[in-house]
Amino acid sequence: MVIHDVIVIGAGLAGMRAAVEAAREGLNVAVVSKVHPVRSHSVAAQGGINAALKETDSWEDHMFDTVKGSDYLADEDAVEVLCREAPADIMELERMGAVFSRDDAGKIAQRPFGGAGYPRTCYLADRTGHGLIHVMYEQLAKKNVYLYDEWHVVEIVVEDKSVRGVIALELLTGKLHRLHSKAVVIATGGYGRLFNTTTNALSSTGDGMALALRAGAPLMDMEFVQFHPTTLKRTGILMTEGARGEGGYLINKDGERFMKRYAPKTLELASRDVISRAEQREIEEGRGVDGCVLLDLRHLGEEKINERLPQIRELSINFAGKDPVREPVPVKPGAHYSMGGIWTDVDGKTPVSGLFAAGECACLSVHGANRLGGNSLLETIVFGRRAGSAAAGFSFENKLRVFPEDALKDTARGIALILNRAEGESASGILKEARDAVEGHCWVFRTEAGLKQGLLEIRKLKERYEGVCVTDRGDGFNTELVTALEAGYILELSEVMLLSALNRTESRGSHFRTDFPERNDREWLKHTLIYKKDGGYDIRYRDVVMTKFKPEERKY
Ligand SMILES: Cc1cc2nc3c(=O)[nH]c(=O)nc-3n(C[C@H](O)[C@H](O)[C@H](O)COP(=O)(O)OP(=O)(O)OC[C@H]3O[C@@H](n4cnc5c(N)ncnc54)[C@H](O)[C@@H]3O)c2cc1C
């Protein structure tokens, strides 16, 4: 029988940070990940990680910027933890071996980022995630954390409202395994792959959120998805906000820096929701260039681009055929970050006993209705550490209760049904239609009619999904089966997102309703909570925690 004190699902920065912390307490810790740790989406993070390091900066200012950026939906107790603990966590990352870029005095360099009143984003050129994930993987190895690498968790087992462990599919053999544990930390990343146009890795399919929902935990604020303003035409590959932080311009087809009409004070460094809407307007009103606007870096010069933005140059040349040293790069908004997720407190605790969550799959909420760039890597480290510590504490205090083999048999039956179905539809066909529906009706601008239509289409697709089938019936690396399982998570989360967006009859942060274009604090200064119930969903609301800052009009 396989038993661990703490099981972490996911080996991105949040999962590995949680595991390292839990293992510090001397426990038997395992990480289960469907991709090799250093291929987790965290590796793709570009621009940097925020912390008020300088004497002229303060965690209170960082907190204010974050709360304002969130359009006042963030819970301020959680934001305070994030900003207060950030500097020590950056120092710890450095001691672990993170090689941050330096300023002239040899100190950790910090660049300006959107929505921030101070240059407080630490970075490793434009490959911050790459640097950090390798550092964290070294720590994981050093702590002897057990790694189930390329194992796909298909169920979180909960009995009597307490977590008992997980069921995972070993991709190499196609075997299902029972892994027992006192505490489980979910760190499975975001749900960018609900959309066609996204910066997210193929693996960002929201698995942990769907599994948590099925296991009885509520999801919070799922209507809030961040659209990043600079993703490459056609592929959606990210051009970091650091490109604008270093001085890049956004121009329309007339060569106009159009942000002066939308955010006169901060221009290209307004927050992401504001810029994405501005771009979408320019494109829809005919001032775009072939469905895009242009990111102009030419004035920065070749030397600075090579030093600070080497990857951006390489990606633009390889994927858009444009060298930013010589020509502007076509960009447009793309789905980038999941503000919504599994509801937790500041220690990663969910309402299910022994079940924790951290990183992008969690919703505390520190980002509210719109996340500031550089705050998400920070969230993975601060709250990964805290969730790891809390899960370890829980594990010390509670007894293991193994779950019966019947649970495995039920899951196996469900999978066999897909594998053995003689005819039906492919998951990839269903997914294509689902993504078209979500992108068509739940994008930068939303309306009641569109959201209702989207919901209708997704519900029909859910019915069709009941007949999903695969052509590969083999055991080893059956990626077609994995896609079919992921399609189930994507359909479930799409429905939840559309439902939450339909109900929120106001505009706040990334959620913009053209039929309700104003923020409405009187009725909507609250979080959406969704529970799974009797085959449907139960929607509840919860008040925003406000400690220091009262809602104001948001201007950039
Ligand atoms: C292109 C890009 C650039 C970004 N740049 C920045 C930046 O500069 N600054 C910033 O603050 N933020 C940035 N972000 C956001 C930030 O990188 C992510 O929010 C963060 O890294 C997420 O980390 P995570 O540990 O929560 O999840 P991830 O890194 O996404 O890892 C998820 C893990 O879960 C595992 N998993 C998922 N489902 C299963 C399953 N069913 N079974 C087993 N394992 C599973 C995966 O294998 C993976 O290991 C960027 C995001 C993108 C997409």
204 CA distance to ligand 1 middle (Å): 7
Q: How far apart are CA 173 and CA 79, in angstroms?
A: 43
Q: 29, 8 in Cβ contact below 8 A?
A: yes
> Is any ligand 1 atom within 6 A of the Cβ of residue 359?
yes
Q: What is the pLDDT of residue 535?
A: 84
Annotated catalytic residues are 272
Q: 163, 157 in Cβ contact below 8 A?
A: yes
Q: Give the phi and the psi of residue 541 in degrees, each rounded to 5.
A: -130, 155
Q: What is the pLDDT of residue 555?
A: 84
42, 238, 364: which to mutate for ligand 1, most atoms within 8 A of CB?
42
pLDDT truncated to tens, each residue of the chain (556 aa)? 899 999 999 999 999 999 999 998 789 999 999 999 999 999 999 999 999 999 999 999 999 999 999 999 999 999 999 999 999 999 999 999 999 999 999 999 999 988 899 999 999 998 999 999 999 999 999 999 999 999 999 999 999 999 999 999 999 999 999 999 999 999 999 999 999 999 999 999 999 999 999 999 999 999 999 999 999 988 999 999 889 999 999 999 999 999 999 999 999 999 899 999 999 999 999 999 999 999 999 999 999 999 999 999 999 999 999 999 999 999 999 999 999 999 999 999 999 999 999 999 999 999 999 999 999 999 999 999 999 999 999 999 999 999 999 999 999 999 999 999 999 999 999 999 999 999 999 999 999 999 999 999 999 999 999 999 999 999 999 999 999 999 999 999 999 999 999 999 999 999 999 999 999 999 999 999 999 998 899 999 999 999 999 999 888 8
pTM recorded for the entire structure? 0.97
Q: What is the pLDDT of residue 556?
A: 85
Q: What is the pLDDT of residue 24?
A: 85
Ligand 1 atom nearest residue 129's Cα: 17
Q: How far apart are CA 397 and CA 393, in angstroms?
A: 6
Q: 128, 136 in Cβ contact below 8 A?
A: no
Residue 121: half-sphere exposure toward Cβ, Cα within 13 Å: 32
Residue 338, amino acid: S
Q: Which domains does the chain have, with CATH numbers?
A: 232-333 (3.90.700.10), 407-522 (1.20.58.100)
Q: What is the pLDDT of residue 305?
A: 96
101 CA distance to ligand 1 middle (Å): 22
Q: How far apart are CA 166 and CA 284, in angstroms?
A: 47
80 CA distance to ligand 1 middle (Å): 23
Q: Which residue in 120, 81, 105, 216 sits closest to 160, CA to CA?
A: 216
Residue whose token pair is 């900003």 = 83
> Is any ligand 1 atom within 6 A of the Cβ of residue 121?
no
40, 152, 363, 370: which to mutate for ligand 1, most atoms within 8 A of CB?
40
Q: For residue 362, with 0-12 CB atoms within 10 Å meaning exposed, 13-18 middle and 19 or more buried, which class applies?
A: buried
190 CA distance to ligand 1 middle (Å): 6
What does R_g of the chain's alpha carbons equal in angstroms?
Answer: 22
Q: Which residue in 380, 374, 336 sits closest to 100, CA to CA?
A: 374
Q: How far apart are CA 483 and CA 489, in angstroms?
A: 10
Query: Would you tell me the crossing angle of helices 13-24 and 128-142 to the nearest 10 degrees?
Result: 30
Q: What is the pLDDT of residue 26?
A: 84
Q: How far apart are CA 528 and CA 222, in angstroms?
A: 8
110, 331, 377: which to mutate for ligand 1, most atoms within 8 A of CB?
377
